[in-house]
Copies of this chain bind each other. A is one copy, B any other.
């Protein structure tokens, strides 16, 4: 039987039905409405989330100016959380909110560790995922430093064509570290 989370884990470690059922039993299901917060600055971060449906943005806000920088989007089959606060079990320094009505699966740190210790495959999955995540962040950093506004935008289109018309341009600008005006000028000229 197919399940988005199972498919995702299986891109790294094949699972038996029992194994997947065991994994799934460690998650909680949540539905969240558009504009609601999944994680809110200052509050505890109990879970990391796998997205079944919908679209979210994770961002930090600069106190001084109130401006926000979106560090991640998540749509179906992506993971999202305030990772630092989740791993340290400390208060969130970021906000994550829903751009659409969403359905997610959450796993607590305790369950994550339990699962990792009980099932080597799950630990391995986390390890591989974290390593590849690191690589892609590194590429993003590189592009941010070495690339012009236009290069960053073109790279985004290429990498996430399906997000272009799903997410307001002003949010994409924020993700790319640009003002919305600058982004707007890019695809005019």
Contact status of A123 and B134, CB under 8 A, knowing A71-B142, A140-B141, A144-B145? no
- Chain B residues, Cβ within 8 Å of A69: 142, 145-146
In whole Å, how far is A65's beta carbon from the nearest beta carbon of chain B? 10
- Chain B residues, Cβ within 8 Å of A124: 116, 123
Contact with B along A63-89 (1 / 0, CB 8 A): 000010101000000000001100100
Contact status of A135 and B87, CB under 8 A, knowing A127-B123, A144-B141? yes
Copies in the complex: 2
- Chain B residues, Cβ within 8 Å of A144: 141, 144-145, 177
In whole Å, how far is A56's beta carbon from the nearest beta carbon of chain B? 16
- B87 engages A131 (CB within 8 Å): yes
A132 — nearest CB in chain B belongs to which residue? B87
Contact with B along A20-47 (1 / 0, CB 8 A): 0000000000000000000000000000
- Chain B residues, Cβ within 8 Å of A142: 60, 69, 71
- A131 engages B130 (CB within 8 Å): yes
- Chain B residues, Cβ within 8 Å of A141: 71, 137, 140-141, 144
Q: Which of A67, A116, A137 has the most chain B CB within a 10 Å cutoff?
A: A137
In whole Å, how far is A154's beta carbon from the nearest beta carbon of chain B? 15
A residues adjacent to B (C-beta < 8 A) = 60, 62, 67, 69, 71, 83-84, 87, 116-117, 120, 123-124, 126-127, 130-135, 137-142, 144-146, 177
Q: List the 4 closest pairs (A to B, CB-CB), nearest first.
A: A130-B130, A145-B177, A127-B127, A84-B135
